[in-house]
Amino acid sequence: MSDRPVRVRVAPSPTGDPHVGTAYQALFNYTFARSRAGKLILRIEDTDRARSTPESEAAILESLSWLGIEWDEGPDVGGPHAPYRQSERVVIYRQHARQLLDAGSAYRSFISKQALDQLRADQREQGWQGFFDAEGREMSREQSDRRADSGEPFVIRLKTPLDGDCVMKDLLRGEVSKEWAQIDDQILIKSDGYPTYHLANVVDDHLMGISHVIRGEEWISSLPKHLLLYEAFGWQPPVFCHLPLLRNPDKSKLSKRKNPVSIGYYQRAGYLPQALLNFLGLLGWSMPSGEEKFTIDEMIAEFRLEDVSLGGPVFDLRKLRWLNGRYIREDHDARSLRLALENWALNATRLESILPLAQPRMDALSDWGYLTAFFLADEEPFDPTDLKLKGKTADELAALLQTVIWRLEQQRDFTPEALQQTFRELSDSLEIKLRDLTLPLYVALTGKTASTPLFQSMAILGSDIVRMRIARAVDALGGLSSKKLRELEKQYEARFGTRG
Ligand code: GLU
C-alpha cells in the first residue's frame, strides 16, 4: 500500500439521474478515507458538453448529501485544488496535452471521420485490435503545427506502444496484463478542443494529489491508457482499486431495465438513507462479525479495502426492503418515525401542493386520504384490464408507454406546463389523441381511470416514481423483449433524436 496521505475522490459525470453506482463508489471512497484519516474529494467530470447538465450536477450533490456522504473538497465547498468542475479546467488540460506533444508522446491526427472509419476497418482486417494513425505518428512537428495553424481540424492522440504487454496492478486483482496492440491510440483532446475523460481524469487525479483511485470495474479496461499517461508525464500513479460491478438478480450488469438505479427513486419510495447506505455497504463487503445491519461509523471502524470481495454483488431489492424494515422497526419509536415520515413526505409543503388537486373532489375532510394516498406511495396497484388504448393491442400499448418513459428520462423541467407541452408533442408525433394517451397513464400513475389532473399530479410525484410506475405498467402488459426494445429504440431515435 502507498504511504502517501490518503486522498480519494468520487468523480461523477452529471449526465442524468444520480445513479446508485455513484452512491456505491462514494460510500466505499468515503469509508476508506475516514478509516485512514484521509480526505474525500468530489469532482464533477462534465467534459461531455452535449450530455452534462447543471440540474444533474445539483441532483448528484443533493442525493449524496441525503445519504450522509460528506466530502472535504468539491465544487460547492471549494478547497486547495479548485476548481473541482472539469469544464472550468480546460486550459489546464490543453497545457498538459501540449506538454505531451512537445515530448513526442502524443501527436495530432488530422484524419476525417469518414477516412477514420475506413482506416479502422483496414486495421481490423489486418488483425489489429487497437487503432493508430500512422501518418499522424510520423508527421514532423513543423508540418503538424502548420496544418493546425491553418485551421485544419484535428484531435490529439496518445502514442501507444505497438507491441509488448501492459502490466497493471489492481489492489484487489493483483497483476493483470493486456497486449498494447489491442489498445487504441487514445484521443486526449477532441476536435472541439475539449479533453476526453482519460486525459482530464488522469491530470486531475495527479494535480489533486489522489493517492487511491477506487472506482467501478468498468474502468479497468482504461487502465493501460491511464498508466501510459502517468508514465508520459513522469508522474507516480496512484493505487488502483476497481470495485466489483453491481449486478441484477439474474447476474447481468445492473441496469435500469431490471432495477431502479436512480438514488432519487429510493428516496421518493421511502427508503431511509441509513438503510440504503448499509445495503450498499453489503455489496462486496461484510462485517467481520457477520452482522448485516451496521451504521456507517461501524463500517468505518472495521473497513479494509483489501477485504472487498470480487464475486459480483447482487443488487437485491428484497434485501434492501428487509433491511429498511429493520431500521424502521428497530431504530424508531412513534415520535421519531413520525419525524422520519415528515422528513420524507408528510409535511406541510408537500400536503399543500397536493391538496389543491384533491379539493374540488372533496365533500368531507375525510376524503383526503382516499384521494391523495397515491401521492404518498411507491407502487400503486391498478387493475391491468384498465390498461388500454383505443385501437391498440397490449403490445402496442407497452411500446408506447416505453416511448413515454424514454421521453420523460430526458425531461429535466418537470413542471405541469412543461409536461403538458411534452405530451402534446408526443401525441402529435405518435398520432394519438392526447386524451387517449393520458388514459392508460392515469391507470399506471394513480391506480384509477380518473383522478386528480394528470400533469400536476406527475409534477408532484416526481420523475423517478412516475417512470417506475409506467415501467410497472409495461410489465403488466407483458413486457418487451430485448429484440423489440432494440427496434423501438431505433424508431425512437429516428423520431426524437438520441436518448442521451
Ligand atoms: N466520470 C467517470 C464516471 O462517471 C469517473 C470514472 C473514474 O472514477 O475514473 O464514472
CATH code, 196: 3.40.50.620
Q: Is 352 part of a structural domain of the chain?
A: no
Q: Which of 20, 197, 199 to mutate to test the pocket of ligand 1 (most atoms within 8 A of CB)?
A: 197
Give the pairing of strands 212-216 and 239-243: parallel
> Residues with Cβ within 6 A of ligand 1?
11-13, 45, 197, 201, 215, 219
Q: Ligand 1, closest atom to CA 205?
A: 9
Are 253 and 170 members of one domain?
A: no
Mark whether 256 is an active-site residue. Answer: yes
The reply to whether 110 and 166 lie within a common domain is yes
User: Of 386, 481, 388, whose CA–CA distance to 432 is shortest?
Assistant: 388
Alpha carbon nearest to ligand 1 atom 5, residue: 11
Q: Are 84 and 47 in contact (CB under 8 A)?
A: no
109 and 211 part of one domain: yes
Give the rounded distance of the alpha carbon of 360 from its chain centre: 40
d(CA 356, CA 274): 33
* Of the residues 243, 270, 288, the one at which a domain ends: 243
Domain span including residue 209: 89-243
Among the candidates 267, 297, 327, a domain finishes at 327
- Nearest-10 crossing angle of helices 20-35, 54-67: 50
- Angle at the Cα of 204 (from 54 to 308), degrees rounded to 5? 90
- Of 169, 190, 256, 490, catalytic: 256
In this prediction, residue 5 carries a pLDDT of 96
Predicted pLDDT of residue 2:
59
Overall domain count for the chain: 3
Site to probe by mutation for ligand 1, drawn from 32, 41, 45, 225 as the one with most ligand atoms within 8 Å of Cβ, is 45
Peptide bond into 313 cis (omega under 30): no
Same structural domain, 113 and 220: yes
pLDDT of residue 259: 81
The C-alpha cell at 389 is 388504448
Which domain-ending residue is among 279, 306, 327?
327
What pLDDT score does 255 carry?
A: 83
pLDDT digits (tens, 9 = 90+) for 309-353: 998 899 999 999 999 999 999 999 999 999 999 999 999 999 999
- For 98-119, write each residue's pLDDT tens digit: 999 999 999 999 999 889 999 9
> What are the distances in angstroms from CA 475 to CA 83, 220, 315, 325, 370?
45, 34, 20, 26, 26
Residue for cell digits 445491519? 293
Residue 370 to residue 358: CA distance in whole angstroms: 10
373 domain residue, yes or no: yes
pLDDT for the residue 216: 96
Which CATH number is 447's domain given? 1.10.10.350
Q: Supply the pLDDT for residue 106.
A: 98
Instruction: For residue 337, tell me if it sits in a domain.
Output: no
Which pLDDT score is estimated for 428?
95
Cell of 94: 490543453
- Residues 453, 414 share a domain: yes
Same domain, 62 and 96: no
**Ligand 1 atom with the shortest distance to the CA of 222:** 9
Quick check: is 354 in a domain?
no
Beta bridge partners of 100: none
Reported as a single tens digit per residue, the pLDDT across 65-101 is: 999 999 999 999 999 999 999 999 999 999 999 999 9
C-alpha cell, 429: 408525433
Which ligand 1 atom is the nearest neighbour of the CA of 12? Answer: 4
Q: How far is CA 405 from the centre of its chain?
A: 17
Cα–ligand 1 centroid distance for 28 (angstroms) = 14
What is the reported pTM? 0.93
pLDDT at 499: 76
Whether 420 and 477 share a structural domain:
yes
Residues 319 and 393 in one domain: no
Burial 308-325 (b: 16+ CB within 10 A, else e): beeebbbbbbeebeebbe
Position in ligand 1 atom list of the atom nearest CA 10: 8
Same domain, 251 and 211: no
Note the pLDDT of residue 412: 86
99 and 225 inside one domain: yes
Q: What's the pLDDT at 432?
A: 94
In this structure, the residue with its CA closest to atom 6 of ligand 1 is 11
Q: Is the dihedral of CA 318, 323, 326, 332 positive or negative?
A: negative
In a domain, 156, yes or no: yes
pLDDT at residue 404, as a whole number? 97
- Please list the ranges in the chain whose pLDDT falls under 70: 1-2, 500
- Say whether both 104 and 233 belong to one domain: yes
Is residue 356 a part of any domain in this protein? no
Are 234 and 110 within one domain?
A: yes
d(CA 156, CA 38) in angstroms, rounded, equals 35
